Amino acid sequence: MTDSATISTAGATKKPSLTLRGPQKLFDLLFGGSTVFFAALVLLILGGVVYSLVSGSRLAFATFGPDFIVSQFWNPVTGRFGARAPIYGTLITSAIAMLFGVPISFGIAVFLTEVCPPALKRPLAVAIELLAGIPSIIYGIWGLFFLAPFMQSYVEPLLTSTLGHIPGIGILFSGPPLGIGILTAGIILAIMIIPFISSIMREVFETVPVMLKESAYGIGCTTWEVMWNIVLPYTRVGVIGGIMLGLGRAMGETMAVTFVIGNSHRIANSLLAPGQTISSTLANEFTEATEDLYTSSLIALGLILFVITFIVLSGAKILLIRANRQAGN
Positive or negative: CA dihedral 22, 23, 26, 28: negative
Alpha-helical regions (H) of 162-231: 182-205, 210-218, 223-226
How do the pLDDT tens digits run along the chain, 329 residues long?
445 544 444 444 554 444 556 678 888 888 888 999 999 999 999 999 999 999 999 999 999 998 999 998 898 888 899 999 999 999 999 999 999 999 999 999 999 988 888 888 888 888 888 888 889 999 999 999 999 999 999 999 999 999 888 888 889 998 899 999 999 999 999 999 999 999 999 999 988 888 988 888 888 888 888 888 889 888 888 888 889 888 988 998 888 999 999 988 888 889 999 999 999 999 999 888 888 999 999 999 999 999 998 888 887 778 777 766 766 55
The pLDDT of residue 294 is 93
The pLDDT of residue 1 is 45
Q: Kindly give, in sequence order, each residue whose CB lies less than 8 Å from that of residue 149, ignoring residues fewer than 6 positions away.
A: 179
Contact 257/279 with Cβ under 8 angstroms?
Answer: yes
The backbone torsions φ and ψ at residue 81, rounded to the nearest 5 degrees and listed phi first, read -135, 145
Q: What's at 176, amino acid-wise?
A: P
3-state DSSP assignment of residue 80: strand
Q: How far apart are CA 300 and CA 67, in angstroms?
A: 13
Report helix angle 22-64 to 292-327, nearest 10: 120
Q: What are the angstrom distances between the C-alpha of 119 and each of 98, 125, 166, 203?
A: 30, 11, 46, 18
The pLDDT of residue 328 is 57
Fill in the DSSP letter of residue 262: B
Q: How far apart are CA 39 and CA 35, in angstroms?
A: 6
The pLDDT of residue 21 is 64
The pLDDT of residue 323 is 67
Q: How far apart are CA 144 and CA 48, in angstroms?
A: 36
What's the pTM value of the predicted model, to 2 decimals? 0.85
The enclosing H or E element of 147 equals none
**Annotated domain spans of the chain:** 64-327
Q: Kindly give, in sequence order, each residue whose CB lies less than 8 Å from that of residue 73, ignoring residues fewer than 6 positions away.
A: 80, 81, 82, 265
Contact 169/218 with Cβ under 8 angstroms?
Answer: no
Residue 68: closest CA among 50, 53, 87: 87
CATH architecture of the region 64-327 = Orthogonal Bundle (1.10)
The backbone torsions φ and ψ at residue 75, rounded to the nearest 5 degrees and listed phi first, read -135, 100
Q: Which residues of 50-80 are buried (b: 16+ CB within 10 A; e: fewer)?
A: eeebeebbebbbeebeeebeebeebeeeeeb
